[in-house]
Amino acid sequence: MKKVFNIMDKIDNNSIGIVKSNTVEIKQSLKLDCGKTLNNFSLIYETYGRLNSKKSNAILICHALSGDHHAAGYYSAEDKKPGWWDSCIGPGKPFDTNKFFIVSLNNLGGCKGSTGPNSINKETGLEYGPDFPIVTVNDWVNSQKLLADYLEIDKWACVIGGSLGGMQALQWAISYPDKIKNSIIIAAAAKLSAQNIAFNEVARQAIITDPEFHNGRYNDFNVVPRRGLSIARMLGHITYLSDDSMRQKFGRDLREGKLNFGYDIDFQVESYLRYQAQAFVERFDANTYLLMTKALDYFDPAKEYSGDLSRAFKDTKSRFLVVSFTSDWRFSSSKSHEIVKSLIRARKNVSYSEIEANHGHDAFLMPIPEYLKVLRNFMENINE
C-alpha cells in the first residue's frame, strides 16, 4: 500500500510514470571520423509515448555532456529523481507523450549502458578503457541513424537537444536533410570558442594528472581518479551557473556560521561544489568525460565549407528553433546568433528566442515558463 501511495504522490498526471530502458546491439559497422571502425556496438535507450501507425510522430532527444538515456519518468517508486528532462517530456508537457513517440539514448562512448570505455572490446576480449576511439558529434548522429533504422523510424518529426545535445540536433539537419522535419537547438554553438576549449582542457588535465588515472587504465588497478574527476566537475559546474544564480543560491553564507581559518570548507558554495563533485564521481566515468569534452571541442560543421556555416546549411530541409538564455556565458547568446544568422543567410526557416533567465547554461534544464511556452508553441506546429 505504502509503495502505491508513493507512486501516486510523485508521479502525477503530468509524469510519464515508470519507465524502463532497452538495449539494442547494432551489428552494422560504423566508420568513425577518427578513421577507426566499430564493428559491433550497443546503444541503450528509452522511449516514451506511442509510435503511430505511419511512424511519423517520432522525436529524438540528444543528451549533453553528462546526460544519458534516462530523460523522463522514474525507474521505480523509490526513485528519488525523475529523468533529466522530465520538465519537458511527459503527457501535456512541451514534448507531449500523448502526441509524440520520444526516443532518448545514451551516446556511444557513454558510461550508462551504451558501448564505451568501460565496455569489453569483443575483438580483444579486454576492456576498451582509454583505447575507446574518440567519437565526434557526427559519429553520434550516424550511430543514432542506425538506431532509427532499428526502430523503423524513417524520418524524425523533430530532433531536440541542449548544449552538446543541440550540436547533435544541428548535425542531424546537416547530415540527414531528408530524415528530419524539425530541429530544436538549445543553448548550443556551431563551434566552441577558445575560452570554451580552455575550460575543457583544464578539466581534462585535472583527470589525466590524477595519480590514480593510470593512463586511463584505472579499472585495472581497481581505483578511480576521483580527485581529477571531481575537480573537472567542479570547474564545469561553475561554468554552467551564472554569477547571479550563485549569489542567490549561496551568497557568502558560511556553513558553520563562522570562518575556520583553515583550508577546509568555510562557505556554503564550497560545500555545494564538493557535494556535487562527489555525487558525480559516483555516477560518471573519467574516460567518458574526456571523450565527451573532445567531442565538444572538435565540433565545427562549417570547417569543411571553409568556415562558412551558411554553406553547411545549404541542403538542410528542417525547420529550426534556436533558443538561448541571457545569463548563459558558457554557450552565450552570441553563439546562437551565429547559428541563426547562417540559417537566415541560407534562407532556411528558423525562429529564435532569447529567454530571460539567471540560471546560466543550466537554464536549458529548468522549467522556466516563457521557455516552456516557446517550446510548446513550436511543437504545436509539428504535424504527426
Partner 1 sequence: MNRKDFKIISDWIEKDSAVLDLGCGDSTLLNYLIINKNISGYGFEKDINKVQDSIKKNINVIQMDFNIGLEKYFEKNFFDYAIMTQALQENENPDHIILDMLRVAGEGIVTFPNMGFWRNRLQLGIFGRMPISNSLPNNWYDTPNIHLCTFNDFENLCKELEITIIEKKVLNTNYVSNFLLKILPNLFGEIAIYRFKKD
CA torsion sign for 304, 309, 314, 320 is: positive
Nearer to partner 1, 245 or 336 (CB): 336
Residue 354 interacting with partner 1 (CB under 8 A): yes
Binding-site residue total for partner 1 (CB under 8 A)? 22
Q: How far is the CB of 364 from partner 1 (least distance, A)?
A: 16
Residue 306 interacting with partner 1 (CB under 8 A): no
Nearer to partner 1, 79 or 354 (CB): 354
Encoded one letter per residue, x for contact with partner 1 by CB under 8 A and - for no contact, window 307-346 reads --------------x---------------x--xx--xx-
Q: How far is the CB of 93 from partner 1 (least distance, A)?
A: 16
| Residue 115 grid cell | 558501448
> Quick count: other Cβ atoms within 10 Å of Cβ 28?
12
**Residues in 355-374 that interact with partner 1 by CB under 8 A:** 355-356, 370, 373-374
Q: How far is the CB of 315 from partner 1 (least distance, A)?
A: 17
> Quick count: other Cβ atoms within 10 Å of Cβ 78?
9
Nearer to partner 1, 274 or 345 (CB): 345
Q: How far is the CB of 18 from partner 1 (least distance, A)?
A: 33
CB 309 within 8 A of CB 338: yes
Cα separation, 64 vs 140, in Å, equals: 12
Angle value at C-alpha 185, between 180 and 187, nearest 5 degrees: 165
Q: What is the 3-state secondary structure (H, E, C) of 32-72?
A: CCCCCEECCEEEEEEEECCCCCCCCCEEEEECCCCCCCCCC
Residue 278 interacting with partner 1 (CB under 8 A): no
Residue type, position 280, single letter? F
Residue 64 interacting with partner 1 (CB under 8 A): no
Residues acting as catalytic residues: 163, 328, 361
Nearer to partner 1, 7 or 344 (CB): 344
Cα separation, 171 vs 152, in Å, equals: 21
Angle value at C-alpha 93, between 92 and 99, nearest 5 degrees: 60
Q: How far is the CB of 351 from partner 1 (least distance, A)?
A: 5
Nearer to partner 1, 19 or 59 (CB): 59
Nearer to partner 1, 226 or 376 (CB): 376
**Residues in 19-38 that interact with partner 1 by CB under 8 A:** none
Residue 234 interacting with partner 1 (CB under 8 A): no
Cα separation, 198 vs 193, in Å, equals: 9
Cα separation, 66 vs 89, in Å, equals: 18
Residues lying near partner 1 in the complex (CB under 8 A): 321, 337, 340-341, 344-345, 347, 349-356, 370, 373-374, 377-378, 380-381
